[in-house]
Amino acid sequence: MFEKVAASVLIVSLCFLTSACGGGDEGADQSQELSTSTPSSSEASAPIDRRRAAMIEADRNAEAWFTTGGQFGEKHYSTLDQINKETVGALGFAWDYDLFTRRGIESTPVIVDGVVYGTGTWGAVYAVDGKSGEEVWRFQPEVEGQVAKDACCDIVNRGVAVWEGLLYVAALDGVLYALDKETGEEIWRADTFASEPGRKTSTGAPRVAGNVVVIGFGGAEMDARGYVTAYDLETGERAWRFYTVPGSPEKPYEHEELAWAADTWDPDSLWKAGLGGTVWDNMVYDPVLNLLYVGTGNSAVYAQDFRSPAGGDNLFVSSILAINPDTGRLVWHYQTTPGDQWDYTATQNMILTELEWKGERRDVLMQAPKNGFFYILDRATGELLSAENFAPVNWASHVDMETGKPVLTDAADFVSKPSVIWPSTRGAHNWRPMSYSEDTGLVYIPAYEAVDLKVNLFPSGYEYVPHHWTAGVLPLPLIEAAVDAVDGFYPEDGSVDKDALKQTIRDYKEFAPPNRTILRAWNPVKEEIAWDIEIDEFGNSGSVLSTAGGLLFHTKPDGNLNVYDDETGALLKAIDTGSGMMAAPATYMIDGEQYVVVMAGLGGGGFFSYPPYSAAYKYGNGGRMMAFKLGGGETPKPDPVEWPVQPEPPARIGDAAMIEKGKRRFAWNCSVCHVNSGVGAIPNLKRMQPYIHDVFGEIVLEGLLVGNGMPRFDDVLTHDDVEAIHAYLIDAAWTEYEAGSGSATNPEDEIGGLSQH
Ligand code: CA
């Protein structure tokens, strides 16, 4: 069924940041004809109301950090400069605060009136005094553990919005809370998932836009249909909802934009699968233009043949939407990845700034989505100004500046044959926010140059199964563990030549350039790389903050807070904290002292086990908030962790056929989270303790550990299925036990999960 892919395809189809990748420059100064909606003329010129004026004024207060991205342009940049190239040597520990969680921490704090507001597991909020590190209040939403089953990428949260005395946070279960920012007391709540089908989880930060607070959610691989919902800031009353993809044409369209968006879908699309376009991460608000920019995610099923057989752009998947927050109406849109088949979400952070562009000052929006191209748009009109690849891409040769669309290559097609595709499903840039320095004019991108072999999981035609993973495609990293996954995902019925597929992975392992994890300084005006910092930590680039002190702060999973010269990338300072970090730092000022604050904790999609290089492996993964200032002391490290050795597994159960069945059930239902490698917050099921074996069925079918985030699976698995999974796990445990390899982790010894968003 699968043809062996010629290795030469790899060589000729790659586009590695060379001039050969170009071809899109010539038309760069021509305005693109965008297929926009037709906004009423009053929208752009509406008078700036009191609230918007206050936001514009607040934007000038550099002592605070108003949104997760900093000031309202969300540049992840601060004009504070007390900590600078000359003084950074004196940067040290100010305080820390225990988050009491061992799960992934992805939030950039918001800092208002001297209080740091960060978020964590399930949507917990921590309000901490920015000077002393003492708790002001803490909020833990009541979330049913079962909702963890709907999360692709850990039970994380990426932050809050704060405005005029209220704080807004979305819990994992989609309930949006407005809390009193002084006390944490609940003022109102809104269930943003009520009466909508599909498996969804909310992990992004809400945004305040004019008179409303807006929130989206994730679930594009879980049969969700994307939308964002706006609520009145004070009352929580629903103002509007904008669906990012149409529903079945048998029902009326919820709003006018869906009528023409539906023209970009096959009328016989797989509507019941939800079709994604979910807004799982970023939005940004421009109070001057009164536009809310919304980044939408991929569609699912990935393969377009399976979801919209007639093709089409499939609006509005993988797009940037400009919405008038007063009306909920679309003003313009730009689709980064038409008909997205590759999980190339456009949910990555968007930065609003002014650029000197070909002799003209332009108000722009910049985004580096997963698809590998760096986009600059005129943010008033949506006109495309720049789209150069900032990382290796081979799915498209370039973006045609006339049409604004990528020009696909043969490598893009993974449905009729397995195909090796750059960027990988993880994306050339994922949720870790990039930062733009107004001083250097550089954008600092936590980037990833990686490939995967995408293979069709349904070579005989897609079959939609409710409550199942809906990607329909297997993105296999080119590592030995992927060879093993082939057995897990494909049946023994001969419908797929598994040996040929395994050989393809091994062949490409030989030829493919190594994956690189990089902190990349990109010059948006010159459309080229300024410099790179190589990151040793496979796939985990950490996150960044740039400041007017000439500094670039960089959080690392190995526990270091690195500080570089923002012009050259030279390392000026490294603080070893002993706490692994992924989330972006923020900075603020209290009583004349500048602080840098970061929230530590590894996890999230792709990091369900702790690699040996990580601080989590050495010191555990106790989440904590840490602040640093000039003249601070040495950072206290957590106690080192002694991980338990693998216990002797119980006696094998079942026969070879049962084990084989269990392996497939495990691959399809469990392997998204349980990477079964080394140690981590998600247990390695090859190392279960005897008392866990005793209650294995109760855990999987009855939800015995649902409070820990282990959902019940009785909607998709039978008792026999679970017996088979248990038989497979015991068999795999014995293999590891007898090899004596159950003591250390290997960063390459993991699939990394099916999805990293
Ligand atoms: Ca996705």
Active-site residue, from 173, 305, 343, 558: 343
370 CA from centroid of ligand 1 (Å): 10
**Spatial CA neighbour of 34 closest among 315, 396, 224:** 315
Q: Annotate 504-537 with three-state secondary structure.
A: HHHHHHHHCCCCEEEEEEEECCCCEEEEEEEECC
Q: Do 284 and 410 fall within a single domain?
A: yes
458's CB contacts (< 8 A; 6+ apart) are: 303, 306, 472
Domain-located, residue 571? yes
Query: For the segment 207-239, what is each residue's pLDDT rounded down to a tens digit?
Result: 999 999 999 999 999 999 999 999 999 999 999
Domain-located, residue 402? yes
Domain-located, residue 643? no
Place of tokens 């293999």: 735
297 CA from centroid of ligand 1 (Å): 6
- 693 vs 35, residue with greater confidence: 693
For the chain, the helix, strand and coil percentages under 3-state DSSP, each to the nearest 5: 20, 30, 55
Q: Do 688 and 559 fall within a single domain?
A: no
Place of tokens 């945004």: 207
559 CA from centroid of ligand 1 (Å): 28
Is it the case that residue 469 has pLDDT exceeding 90?
no
Q: Do 609 and 657 fall within a single domain?
A: no
| Domain, as residue range, for 698 | 652-741
Q: Do 190 and 245 fall within a single domain?
A: yes
430 CA from centroid of ligand 1 (Å): 10
Q: Which of 630, 663, 689 is the C-terminal boundary of a domain?
A: 630
245 CA from centroid of ligand 1 (Å): 15
Domain-located, residue 503? no
pTM of the model: 0.91
242 CA from centroid of ligand 1 (Å): 20
pLDDT-derived band of residue 60, with 50, 70 and 90 as boundaries? confident
104 CA from centroid of ligand 1 (Å): 18
Task: Please give the pLDDT value at position 498.
Answer: 86
Q: Which of 630, 664, 685 is the C-terminal boundary of a domain?
A: 630
Place of tokens 């393809």: 504
198's CB contacts (< 8 A; 6+ apart) are: 219, 222, 223, 224, 225, 274
Chain-centroid distance, C-alpha 659: 34
356 CA from centroid of ligand 1 (Å): 34
| First-to-last C-alpha distance (Å) of the chain | 29
Cα separation, 468 vs 31, in Å, equals 43
What is the arithmetic mean of pLDDT over 506-521?
87
Domain-located, residue 282? yes
Ranking 44-53, 446-455, 663-672 by mean pLDDT, the lowest is 44-53
Q: Do 128 and 199 fall within a single domain?
A: yes
Tell me whether residue 356 is exposed, middle or buried, using C-beta atoms within 10 angstroms of its C-beta: 0 to 12, 13 to 18, 19 or more.
exposed
- Find out whether 698 and 714 touch, Cβ atoms under 8 Å: no
Give the CATH number for residue 249.
2.140.10.10
Do you find a cis peptide bond into 316, omega within 30 degrees of 0?
Answer: yes
Cα separation, 408 vs 395, in Å, equals 6
CB atoms within 10 A of CB 86: 10
Residue 343: active-site member: yes
Q: Could you write out the DSSP letters of every residue in 696-753? A: HHHHHHH-TTGGGT----TTT--HHHHHHHHHHHHHHHHHHHHHT-TT---TTSS---
| pLDDT mean across residues, the chain | 89
Task: Please give the pLDDT value at position 741.
Answer: 62
Classify strands 452-456 and 419-421 as parallel, antiparallel or unpaired: antiparallel
432 CA from centroid of ligand 1 (Å): 15
Tell me whether residue 211 is exposed, middle or buried, using C-beta atoms within 10 angstroms of its C-beta: 0 to 12, 13 to 18, 19 or more.
middle
580 CA from centroid of ligand 1 (Å): 25
Q: Do 161 and 300 fall within a single domain?
A: yes
Task: Please give the pLDDT value at position 68.
Answer: 97
Classify strands 161-163 and 135-139 as parallel, antiparallel or unpaired: unpaired
Q: Do 448 and 564 fall within a single domain?
A: yes
426 CA from centroid of ligand 1 (Å): 9
Cα separation, 470 vs 473, in Å, equals 8
Q: Annotate 420-450 with three-state secondary structure.
A: EECCCCCCCCCCCCCEECCCCCCEEEEEEEC
Q: Could you write out the DSSP letters of every residue in 281-347? A: S-EEEETTTTEEEEE----SSSSHHHH-TT----TTTTEEEEEETTTTEEEEEEESSTT--S-----
pLDDT-derived band of residue 744, with 50, 70 and 90 as boundaries? very low
Q: Do 190 and 243 fall within a single domain?
A: yes
Domain-located, residue 6? no
- Find out whether 341 and 304 touch, Cβ atoms under 8 Å: yes
Query: For the segment 323-345, what is each residue's pLDDT rounded down to a tens digit?
Result: 999 999 999 999 999 999 999 99
347 CA from centroid of ligand 1 (Å): 10
122 CA from centroid of ligand 1 (Å): 20
Count of domains forming the chain: 2
Task: Please give the pLDDT value at position 40.
Answer: 39
Is it the case that residue 304 has pLDDT exceeding 90?
yes
Task: Please give the pLDDT value at position 501.
Answer: 85
Domain-located, residue 756? no
Is it the case that residue 755 has pLDDT exceeding 80?
no
Query: For the segment 97-148, what is each residue's pLDDT rounded down to a tens digit?
Result: 999 999 999 999 999 999 999 999 999 999 999 999 999 999 999 999 888 8
Q: Do 613 and 734 fall within a single domain?
A: no
Ranking 127-141, 166-180, 360-374, 535-549 by mean pLDDT, the lowest is 535-549
342 CA from centroid of ligand 1 (Å): 9
Is it the case that residue 20 has pLDDT exceeding 70?
no
Give the CATH number for residue 672.
1.10.760.10
- Find out whether 89 and 573 touch, Cβ atoms under 8 Å: yes
Place of tokens 């014995």: 734
Is it the case that residue 753 has pLDDT exceeding 60?
no
- Find out whether 137 and 128 touch, Cβ atoms under 8 Å: no
Q: Do 573 and 695 fall within a single domain?
A: no
Type of residue numbered 455: V
Task: Please give the pLDDT value at position 742.
Answer: 54
Cα separation, 711 vs 700, in Å, equals 7
221 CA from centroid of ligand 1 (Å): 6
Q: Do 457 and 580 fall within a single domain?
A: yes
Q: Do 160 and 190 fall within a single domain?
A: yes
What is the arithmetic mean of pLDDT over 275-285?
97
Place of tokens 């650029």: 355
Type of residue numbered 376: I
Assign residue 236 a region: left if phi > 0, alpha if psi is -120 to 50, beta otherwise?
A: left
- Find out whether 48 and 290 touch, Cβ atoms under 8 Å: yes
Domain-located, residue 19? no
